[in-house]
Structure 1
Amino acid sequence: MKITKIFFSPSGTTKKVVEQIASNFECESQIRDLMHFDSSYKFTKDDVVIVGMPVFAGRIPKTARDRLSKLTGNNTKAIAVANYGNAKVGDALLELVDVLGENNFNVIAAISSVSHDSIFDGVAVGRPDSEDIEKINEFSKKCMEKIESGESIESEIPGNKPYVDYKQLPFILNCDESICIFCCECITICPEKAIPDDDPADVDLDSCSRCTACIHFCPENARSFTGEAFEAKKPEFESANSQRKEVEYYL
């Protein structure tokens, strides 16, 4: 058995959850990072994939969905992971399970995990924490049992169809040119190609998905959200989502 870790992880948190699940499997593993897309790999019925997606306003990111849809299984066993910042999973986990099923992956289990919110830094600070890791490890062991039994997922996944509409956040993404060293890491990491090759301090806000990759990968912390819309939403969002939500899994 070979494990393939597939993820779209702009802030790095979804990757951490996928890797935590994979760490419980004592077998060969490899990575398919959907931030840097490669659709050339073909999966077999003997492979197991762990597919992690962040939640953007109740959906999996549009670009991530498009890239994942180009990967095809061969009745390949799949574990679905929707990782969110303690607000709401919405339809994201259901959408992920559906996309995998449509592309000939056999989903055996699914989980919604909680991580430090990538936009509003006052929400879910320090998560996943020790309690989360314990629950993720418990889930991983149950996944191994499902693989050995050959069973598919039986639980009903929460969510609605049609899925909630995609939303474009109105936040402005700012680059502090007095700090920026023009290393161009943000240009390389941006999955939407929204940052011009000749000017890393600029951003096409119509193309930008507010995924936060350029913010989290900037070595100088030169990039951040700003503007009236963001400043008004931040305290409201942090107050509304201060109550702890727990990891939930489906087998």
Structure 2
Amino acid sequence: MSNLTKIFFSPSETTKKVVEQVAGNLSSASKSYDLLTFNQEKEFTNEDIVIVGMPVFAGRLPKTGSERLAKFKGNNTKAIAIVNYGNAHVTDALLELVDILNENDFNVIAAASTVSHHSIFDGVAVGRPDESDIEKINEFAAKCSEKIESGEPLKSEIPGNRPYVDLKQLPFVISCDDTLCSFCYDCASICPEQAIPEDDPIATDLDLCSRCTACINICPEDARKFSGEAFEAKKPAFEEANSERKEPEFYL
């Protein structure tokens, strides 16, 4: 399946991992577009197949990720839609992803919501996706392969509501420990919001920052982190409220 393409917005790289797991079951060769850095128009044909993965931010797709995805245009192109979340709530995110793809002439044949280690509250869904998750993702990929061959359309109803829930901006502070920072500038290069000045990686413009965690994930010195009273107050309550295991869900 040489015409397989992976498209993902994956600040903490967990969504990318899920997309790659599905893709690996379908083809040994595929192209990739990382929406953290790729921000151009791209067109596909009806011979192409795309796997699109997006994280869930408070029940919605990340604004920048969805805006960049909207620049991708299909031509009745078969698509597999995946949202990845930290064991809290999917809410309207999967429906939003399917809507964006349908509006841009992709033919969504399958969809999924998968669970990964929470990117902000690190006590939630530790070690996910685990062996059980991977087994279920592999089974889903096998069914996707069958649908690609048969041309069978998506039959399942995608959960969610229109209008979608409002986008929320988290009040948490992202700080950088200047005694740890090596001034490699990786954080400034990866930030999709350009919230970190190119000449000052210690700073973060919190009005621009979407709290996507890309800068935290990429930092080789673990110098960047969430901090502040709002974060510290929310963390234990959130982790307790979302301690019960949720399972991935698949729509065919």
TM-score normalized by structure 1?
0.99
Question: Does structure 1 residue 140 correspond to structure 2 residue 141?
Answer: yes
Structure 1 residue 94: deviation in Å?
Answer: 0.4
Which residue of structure 1 lines up, in the alignment, with residue 186 of structure 2?
185
Q: How does 1:225-244 map to 2 (within 5 A)?
A: 225-244=226-245
Which residue of structure 2 lines up, in the alignment, with residue 122 of structure 1?
123
Structure 1 residue 28: deviation in Å?
Answer: 2.9
Q: How does 1:145-160 map to 2 (within 5 A)?
A: 145-160=146-161
Number of aligned residues? 251
Q: 2 CA distance for matches of 1:78 and 1:198? A: 40
Identity rate of aligned residues, in percent?
Answer: 70
**Gapped runs of 5+ residues in structure 2?**
none
| AA aligned opposite 2:10 | S
State the secondary structure of the residue aligned to 1:24. helix
Which residue of structure 1 lines up, in the alignment, with residue 220 of structure 2?
219
State the secondary structure of the residue aligned to 2:244. coil
Structure 1 residue 41: deviation in Å?
Answer: 3.2
State the secondary structure of the residue aligned to 1:192. coil
| AA aligned opposite 2:230 | A
Deviations 1:81-131 (A, max 9, x none): 000000010100000000000000000000000000000000000000000
Q: 1 CA distance for matches of 2:249 and 2:124? A: 18
- 1:32/1:38 contact within 8 Å kept: no
Q: 2 CA distance for matches of 1:152 and 1:41? A: 24
Q: 1 CA distance for matches of 2:220 and 2:133? A: 28
Question: Does structure 1 residue 204 correspond to structure 2 residue 208?
Answer: no
Moved over 4 A (4+): none
Deviations 1:123-170 (A, max 9, x none): 000000000000000000000111111122110001011000000000
State the secondary structure of the residue aligned to 1:28. coil
Which residue of structure 2 lines up, in the alignment, with residue 15 of structure 1?
16
Q: 1 CA distance for matches of 2:108 and 2:172? A: 35
Q: What's the C-alpha RMSD, in Å, of the aligned pairs? A: 0.8
Structure 1 residues 40-49 or 10-19, which shifts more?
40-49
Structure 1 residues 18-27 or 158-167, which shifts more?
18-27
Which residue of structure 1 lines up, in the alignment, with residue 81 of structure 2?
80
| AA aligned opposite 2:219 | C
- 2:4/2:27 contact within 8 Å kept: no
- 1:58/1:92 contact within 8 Å kept: yes
Q: 2 CA distance for matches of 1:82 and 1:25? A: 19
Structure 1 residue 37: deviation in Å?
Answer: 1.3
Q: 2 CA distance for matches of 1:38 and 1:28? A: 23
Question: Does structure 1 residue 28 correspond to structure 2 residue 29?
Answer: yes
Structure 1 residues 107-116 or 24-33, which shifts more?
24-33
Q: 2 CA distance for matches of 1:36 and 1:169? A: 22
- 2:41/2:71 contact within 8 Å kept: no
Q: 2 CA distance for matches of 1:202 and 1:39? A: 28
- 1:123/1:238 contact within 8 Å kept: yes
Q: 1 CA distance for matches of 2:201 and 2:30? A: 35
State the secondary structure of the residue aligned to 2:243. coil
| AA aligned opposite 2:247 | E
Which residue of structure 2 lines up, in the alignment, with residue 162 of structure 1?
163
- 1:100/1:106 contact within 8 Å kept: yes
Q: 1 CA distance for matches of 2:216 and 2:118? A: 13
- 1:3/1:27 contact within 8 Å kept: no
Which residue of structure 1 lines up, in the alignment, with residue 93 of structure 2?
92
**Gapped runs of 5+ residues in structure 1?**
none
Q: 2 CA distance for matches of 1:103 and 1:53? A: 16
Structure 1 residue 42: deviation in Å?
Answer: 2.1
